Amino acid sequence: MKASRHLLVVCSFLTIFATASAQDMNTSVLQQSVTNLLIEAQKQGLVPSKYAKSEAALTGLINGGRVPEALKQAADLITRISYDFASGQVKADQLKRNYMVPTKKITASQTAAISQYVNGQITAADLIQVMQPKNEYYNSLVSLLQRFQQAVDSGQLVTAPAKLNTVKAGAKDTASILYARARLALLGYDNDQTNPAVTSDLTESIIEFQADHNLTADGALGAASWSVLDQDVRAVITKIRLNIDRTRWLPDSLGANHVFVNLAEQQLKLVLNSQVSMNFKTINGRLDRQTPILFDSMSHLQLNPTWTVPQSILFKDKLPLILQNPGKVLDMNMKVIDDVTGTVVDPYSVDWTQVNETFSPYTLVQSPGPHNALGFVKFPLTNPYAIYLHDTDSRHLFANADRLLSSGCVRLEKPFEFAAQILNNVQWTAESLRAASEFLVPTATASTRVKFGRSIPVYLFYLTTSVNANGKIVFSKDSYKIDSEMYGMFAR
C-alpha cells in the first residue's frame, strides 16, 4: 500500500512536469520545494541532516542537467520527508529490541496532499499541517521544542556562573540564584526572574521541580538538583527532537480511555473519558530484561493470580533449595506441575537431581496469596512476550527513586484503585477488590476473572522528556539507552 501510494505521487509529479520541456524547467523550484518542506518540518522536530545525502544527489542531477532524474529524485525526497514527518524518521522496528508498535499508515488525504505539494498547489506549511501527528504528546513536545529554540535564538539565555552554589533559603550567591530562577522558568516553574534573593516563590518552584524529578524535595538546590536543572540547552533540544520522533509512532488518538506507561519516567497514567483519572509509580524491567515499547490492550483482570516461576529463577534460586529439601516447594506456597500430564505431583516424588536445562518437565507454580510475586491482582495483556501489569508482594520497592527491577512486566503502585477506576467504582471498589482477594486466598484454587466490559488500549512507551499534568517539563534518565541508539541512527 505504502509503495503504491509512493509510486502514485511520483507518477503524478512526473506527469505534471512532462508537459513542460526539460529546458523550461526551473530546477531551482525543485530544490526550493524540498528546502521549504525541511524548514517547516524542522520547526516540529524533524532532523534535516538525515536527508543531506539525498539533497546532494539532487543537486548533482540538477547541475548535470539530468532533469527527468532530478524530478524523480525530488518527488522521492518530498515523499520520504513527508512520510518520516508523519510516522518517524526512525521506526520502532529499526531499533535493536523486540517492539510491538504497529507501523503508522499514511492516509489517502495525506497522499493526496503530497501530490498537491509536488504539483505546487499547496504550500509546505499546508502539507505539514496535513502530515503532522495529532497526539497530545507530540503537540506538547513540539511546543517545548519551540520554547527552547526561541530561547536560544533570542540570545537571551542566562549564562551559568563559573561556580554553581547551593540555592536555598538564606543563600547569598546572587549569580546562582538568578541562574536557578531563569532555568526553572524555562522548564515552566514560574517565579520572579528578576529577584536576586531566595524567596518563597523560588523555594516553592524548587520543591515542585525536585518532586517532579524524583529528587529529594527539600527546597535546597544542591549538586543532584543542579545536574538535572543545569543541562546544556542544545543537548536538551536534541533530546526533545528524539522524543518527538518517537511520538510520531503513536496514533493520532490514543483513545478516550487508555493506559499510558512512561517507562523512562516509571509512571503510569490512566485516562478515562478523555480525563486523567490517576497517576502513580510503576516498577519496570531491569536493564537486562527491559520492558518493551508496545501498544496493546487489556479487557479483564485476575484476582489472586498464580505465578509461574521462570526457568532462570528455578535453576538459580529454587532448585538448590529443593535439592536440599523438596518440602521447600510447599513452604514457598508452590505446586509442582508435571508438564507432560498437566497434573500436580508430590515434590517428594520427583527426582530433582535429574532436572537440568534440557530435562525440566516440571513447572513450579506459586499459589495465590500475600506472598505471591504478582500480588493480589494481575492485568493480562495480549502480547506474546508475557508482558502484563500486576500488583506485587514487594510494595516497599516503590519508595526507590530508580525502579528498574522487574523481569519486564510492569508492577503497579496502586493496583486496586486502578482496577476500581476502570470498573467505574460501581460493581467493584478498591476496598471490595482488596477484600475479595484477601477473602478468596485461603480457599482459592483458581484465580477470579473480572471483565471490564470494554477493551482498554495500553501504551508502554518511552519518553525521556515529557510535559506533566501541571505543564512542567520532566526529564528522565535514558536508562534503556533508546535516545542514544536513535541519536546514532540520525548521525548515520
Partner 1 sequence: MKPSLFGKSLAAITLLLSFSAFAKVQTGFVKNVVEDDEGIKVILSKSSSAIKEIETVYLINTDADFRESRDLIMKAKAENSKVQISQGDVKVGP
Contact track, partner 1, 247-286, x by CB under 8 A? ----------------------------------------
Cβ-contact 404, 287 below 8 angstroms: yes
Measured from the CB atom, the residue of 385 and 452 that comes closer to partner 1 is 385
Cβ-contact 248, 85 below 8 angstroms: yes
Query: What residue has cell string 513527508?
Result: 82
Determine the size of the site formed for partner 1 (CB under 8 A).
23
Q: How far is the CB of 245 from partner 1 (least distance, A)?
A: 23
Q: What is the DSSP code (8-state) at residue 316?
A: I
Q: Of 118, 25, 120, 129, which Cα lies nearest the Cα of 78?
A: 118
- For 381, other C-beta atoms within 10 Å of its C-beta total 20
317-346 residues near partner 1, rule: CB under 8 A: 339-340, 342
Q: Which of 385, 398, 452, 487 binds partner 1 (CB under 8 A)?
A: 385
CA dist 427 → 301, 452, 453, 472 (Å): 14, 11, 12, 36
The grid coordinates listed for 196 are: 536576586
> Radius of gyration (Cα) for the chain, nearest Å?
28
Q: How far is the CB of 385 from partner 1 (least distance, A)?
A: 5
Q: Which of 35, 146, 363, 432 binds partner 1 (CB under 8 A)?
A: 363
Q: How far is the CB of 406 from partner 1 (least distance, A)?
A: 8
The grid coordinates listed for 110 are: 495525506
Cβ-contact 388, 378 below 8 angstroms: yes
The answer to the question of residue 409 lying near partner 1 (CB under 8 A) is yes
Q: What is the DSSP code (8-state) at residue 318?
A: I
Q: Which stretch binds partner 1 (CB under 8 A): 38-46, 322-330, 404-412, 415-423?
A: 404-412
The answer to the question of residue 384 lying near partner 1 (CB under 8 A) is yes
Measured from the CB atom, the residue of 59 and 98 that comes closer to partner 1 is 98
Q: Which of 108, 154, 156, 359 binds partner 1 (CB under 8 A)?
A: 359
Q: Tell me the torsion sign for CA atoms 435, 436, 440, 446.
A: negative
Q: Of 329, 361, 364, which Cα lies nearest the Cα of 348?
A: 329
Measured from the CB atom, the residue of 92 and 124 that comes closer to partner 1 is 92
The answer to the question of residue 368 lying near partner 1 (CB under 8 A) is no
Rounded Cα gap, residues 280 and 172, in angstroms: 37
Rounded Cα gap, residues 106 and 221, in angstroms: 47
Q: Which of 147, 289, 395, 481 binds partner 1 (CB under 8 A)?
A: 289
3-class DSSP state for residue 270?
A: strand
Q: Which of 36, 297, 360, 448 binds partner 1 (CB under 8 A)?
A: 360
Measured from the CB atom, the residue of 293 and 474 that comes closer to partner 1 is 293
Q: Which stretch binds partner 1 (CB under 8 A): 25-33, 41-49, 108-116, 382-390?
A: 382-390
The answer to the question of residue 354 lying near partner 1 (CB under 8 A) is no
Rounded Cα gap, residues 140 and 470, in angstroms: 12
Q: How far is the CB of 290 from partner 1 (least distance, A)?
A: 8
Contact positions vs partner 1 (CB under 8 A) = 98, 289-290, 308-312, 339-340, 342, 357-361, 363, 384-386, 407-409
